[in-house]
């Protein structure tokens, strides 16, 4: 029993290479300089290198006023989340229409009455396909708008 206690005490006093490396890293970090906190006074003292200028004729084609005006942080945040919601809703709409189109196609092949297939199901299929194309275009537009906001 005493030997077991002695071995455990000896093992506890010896440091492994990993412990030594961790202690060395901790010691080297404690000597590093703390990060500088920028205050409002520092900002007021700083000289800005940015210049505001109006749009020039050589800047290219005229853009809408909304795109030309920079957005503040809150408005940009709201616009980005609205765009994300629009993309999500468009993706759901496309998925629902694709599922509906598949169901209509299956019902076309399952129907025994050729008149019903040609009159009712074919018209629903054409209408749903047109809606799906519109929804895919809407999704592409929503993704483009989101990409512009993420820049």
Tens digits of residue pLDDT in 50-93? 555 554 444 444 444 445 455 577 888 888 889 999 999 999 99
Low-confidence spans in the chain with pLDDT less than 70: 1-2, 4-16, 30-35, 47-71
The domain locations on the chain are: 72-151
The torsion angle over the Cα atoms of residues 114, 117, 118 and 124, rounded to 10 degrees, is 180
Residues 134, 146: Cα–Cα separation, whole Å: 18
Residues 76, 32: Cα–Cα separation, whole Å: 37
Residues 83, 142: Cα–Cα separation, whole Å: 7
pTM: 0.49
């Amino acid at each position: 029993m005493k030997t077991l206690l002695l071995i455990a005490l000896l093992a506890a006093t010896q440091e492994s290479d990993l412990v030594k490396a961790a202690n060395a890293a901790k010691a080297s970090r404690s000597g590093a300089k703390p990060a500088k906190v920028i205050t409002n006074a520092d900002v007021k003292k700083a000289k800005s290198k940015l210049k505001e200028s109006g749009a020039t004729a050589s800047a290219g084609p005229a853009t809408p006023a909304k795109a030309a005006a920079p957005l503040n942080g809150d408005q940009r945040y709201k616009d980005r989340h609205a765009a994300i919601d629009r993309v999500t809703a468009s993706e759901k709409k496309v998925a629902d229409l694709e599922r509906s189109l598949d169901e209509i196609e299956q019902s076309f092949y399952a129907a025994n009455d050729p008149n019903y297939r040609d009159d009712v199901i074919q018209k629903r299929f054409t209408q749903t396909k047109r809606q799906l194309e519109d929804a895919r275009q809407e999704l592409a537009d929503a993704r483009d708008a989101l990409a512009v906001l993420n820049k």
